[in-house]
Structure 1
Amino acid sequence: MFGKRLAEVRTNKGLSQYELAERLGFSRAQIANYEQGTREPDFHTLIVFADFFEVSLDYLLGRTEIHEFNANGYQTYTRKELTEREEGFLEEALQVFRKYSSS
């Protein structure tokens, strides 16, 4: 999914693979490999792309369809029901937060 999203945001910005590579200090081959899915970027590289295109990491990774930020710089979400897995994850995160914030 990342490769498709990278190609999408790049073309929406009117950039070729070569132009994007030049602006961000990558080779054109790296950009092509990311877009084709033959290479996966590291976390730092993901942040570079997200910052450059002004989209969230979740959008680049295909975890959300929302790619624009509101006027405050925050990504807006519509309410949706959480899955049991998501609820469990949030409950665990809340417990950890409470444990370490009270220390």
Structure 2
Amino acid sequence: MSLGKRLKREREKKNWSQKYVADKLGITNTVLSNYERDYRDPDTDTLKKISDLYDVSTDYLLGRTEESAPKESIIKEDNSNFFFFDKEGLTEEEQELLEQSYNLMRERARKRAEARKKKK
């Protein structure tokens, strides 16, 4: 499926008008229409904004994956997968602080996801 078709499908899933999305992205309806009809491709910054607005990954929009999982999907993974780097140079206190920071981010992401579900 093309980028344009994915953009249109995601917009329609949310029942949003082209005008609404274009206003949110800071572009014109015509530009958005050109993206959705595959006449033009969005620049990198616009693609990131679209990804954030639709709550999908840029890989999904670009057709690199069929999973439209939100970017926060890493939060659902086990903590051990997150800390993949060598912690040898960190003190025990620094390691604990790093893990606490990660857990705080994870909790905030969970709360945002719950709030989005309640809005639907």
| TM-score of the two chains, using structure 1 as the length reference | 0.66
Give 2:49's aligned residue.
Answer: 48
CA distance in 1, matches of 2:6, 2:17: 14
CA distance in 2, matches of 1:24, 1:44: 10
- Residue pair 1:55, 1:68 contacting (<8 A) in 2 also: yes
CA distance in 2, matches of 1:40, 1:26: 13
Q: Map 1:1-103; keep pairs closer than 5 Å.
A: 1-69=2-70, 73-74=73-74
Give 1 or 2 for the bigger CA radius of gyration.
2
- Residue pair 1:59, 1:65 contacting (<8 A) in 2 also: yes
- Residue pair 1:69, 1:75 contacting (<8 A) in 2 also: no
CA distance in 1, matches of 2:28, 2:50: 14
Q: Alpha-carbon deviations, 1:16-45, whole Å to 9, x = none?
A: 111111122110001000001111111111
Q: SS of 2:9's equivalent? A: helix
Q: SS of 1:73's equivalent? A: helix
Q: Alpha-carbon deviations, 1:33-91, whole Å to 9, x = none?
A: 00011111111111010011110011001111101238x53288xxxxxxxxxxxxxxx
Runs of 4 or more, structure 1, over 3 Å off, are none
Amino acid at match of 2:26: G
Gaps of 5+ in 1: 77-103
The percent identity for this pair of structures is 40
CA distance in 1, matches of 2:75, 2:17: 27
Gaps of 5+ in 2: 77-120
| TM-score of the two chains, using structure 2 as the length reference | 0.57
CA distance in 1, matches of 2:52, 2:21: 13
